[in-house]
Structure 1
Amino acid sequence: MAPKRKKVEVEEKEVRAQEEVEEEEEDEEEEELAFSRNYFLAKEVGSASGKRSAARKVSEINLVDEQLLRASLSELPTKHEKEIGSLLESYKGLYSNWLFELRCGFGLLMYGFGSKKALLEDFASSTLTSYTVVVINGYLASVNLKQVMTTIAEILWEHYKCKAKTSTGKKQQTQLPNGLKSVDDIVTFIVDISDDCNCSVCLLIHNIDGPALRDPDSQQHLARVSCCSCICLVASIDHVNAPLLWDKKMVYTQFKWSWHHVPTFVPYKVEGLFNPLILFSSGHVQTTKTALVVLQSLTPNAQSVFRVLAEFQLDNEKEEGMHVSELYTKCREQFLVSSQVTLNAHLTEFKDHKLVKMKRHSDGQDCLHIPLPTNALEKLLQELV
């Protein structure tokens, strides 16, 4: 009887142990479920109150005056001046290698953290003494590529005239040939005349990825000019997506970039002077940039429809807006839309991206209005190619 009794006791203990394990697992599951419920309940309450508080706080922000902010930034002490000076001094030992690469037909592309303006200008003034250096400040939004190309063409034309006069003894005309109206015409002239010029021109471009040069047409023009035998290129980049500006042909066949990692850790003081400060420009500047990005992602027809509306708004500033029927008539005349359905599709896209607002005119009809001031709208149309 004793073995049986022991066996029963062992089985009872195992059952009790199993029950205890199951109870513990149930308790753990209940604790997890309670924790999950409390977590999501807290998130719902927190998000609701957070939205209200965030909306209130954003509207109450007082943005600092730009001049005061720039003055405060200028007073910040520069750190590690000795180390930065030693780093820049070490790069001077590479000048001869860079010059050798230029003479071999490569273009120099400098990248790395810090302003490279002083470094490149020191390289040009100390090493490129046999070159005619043309400096292009690509960080300026007002850079006029046509003017730059005209300057290059005038330099080559002067050398071409000197060579022609030496060989023929006849006086050549002093002005550029007529008919060079577009940038493409000037670039073609530079390419045609470059083989007959006994000169060396170096284009020193600070920030070839700058706002005024990063469009495809400007990059194509610079790439064509860089192929000329008498022209070499030294440029810097700072934008993280700068390599996306070029395809394989431009990189390996036209620019022939020789990449150099030259971090200087020098503050972007000069380059930053011409960019709006984040803590200051939270209004129309950012809105214009956002609108430009959205419009560039749309079809050419959609951009043209937006331009019709924008030009009407600029020409009729006192008007409350443009009637939808009037916009349809003008777009139909310019063959931008074929039906009201097509126009409505464009307008829906504009309204979804908050490019255009619909409001009721005083005469009861719906009219369209672009929520941008006149100066911002003019700048948007200039940048929208």
Structure 2
Amino acid sequence: GIDSFPKGVQSLYSKCKYITEICDNPPLMFLKDKDKEEGRKKHPFLTSHLVIFMHSIDGENARTNETQDLLSMLVMAKRIHIVASVNHLNAHLMWDAEQQDRFNWLWKNATTFKPMRTEMANKSIMTNGTAATTSYGTTHVLNSLTPHHVQLLKLLAEHQLKLEEENKSKSRNRKENSAMQFHDLFDICRDIISFSCTEQQLKKLLREFTDHKLIEIKRADGTEWLSIPLSRDIIQRDIIDYDR
């Protein structure tokens, strides 16, 4: 297998690309026929196919956009294949057009109609049997996200705490009044932090947070409202004060 990567290959995406290039252009193809045969015996992995079996590719820990991007990039190699199961009827909606083209799935209905006892037995590290996200879980997720993701979450967190403070003395629903409209966040990204993206790209970024239960999106009167379903202390300590 690959024990180490070249010095310039550091990010997950570059490592993924490096692996696919080796699979598509194995070193053996540049050798003479006699040397190829010897090379196949000594390094069989250079010409064999790699099949990845993945249970619940739409599970909570796998359905992040980064994970799906990496998997879809891997299977673009001619000798890398993936066999996966999905649990949700609408699982295909988590892939954008580009990812679907890369995966090029051949669908097979293999419904068991059995209770999901095994899947439900393992609680997410983000929760302790409740909807509340733990401090450890918040930091764990932020460590795995890009600076743009973190900056977006910090903006939303600062907005939410500011409104909560302003509404503290008022008899209003705190969660509703501390939420931010999607279009307001989009305007801030475009005008204040100079983060150029389309509405669709922003929604794709936000999906990372909703997958990890760091953001709730509620719709009312045709408007999307964003809020962070965490305690004030966790928002301040683990999001606003977060420093990678």
Larger Rg over CA atoms: 1
Structure having the higher helix fraction is 1
Q: TM-score scaled to structure 2, two decimals?
A: 0.48
TM-score by length of 1: 0.32
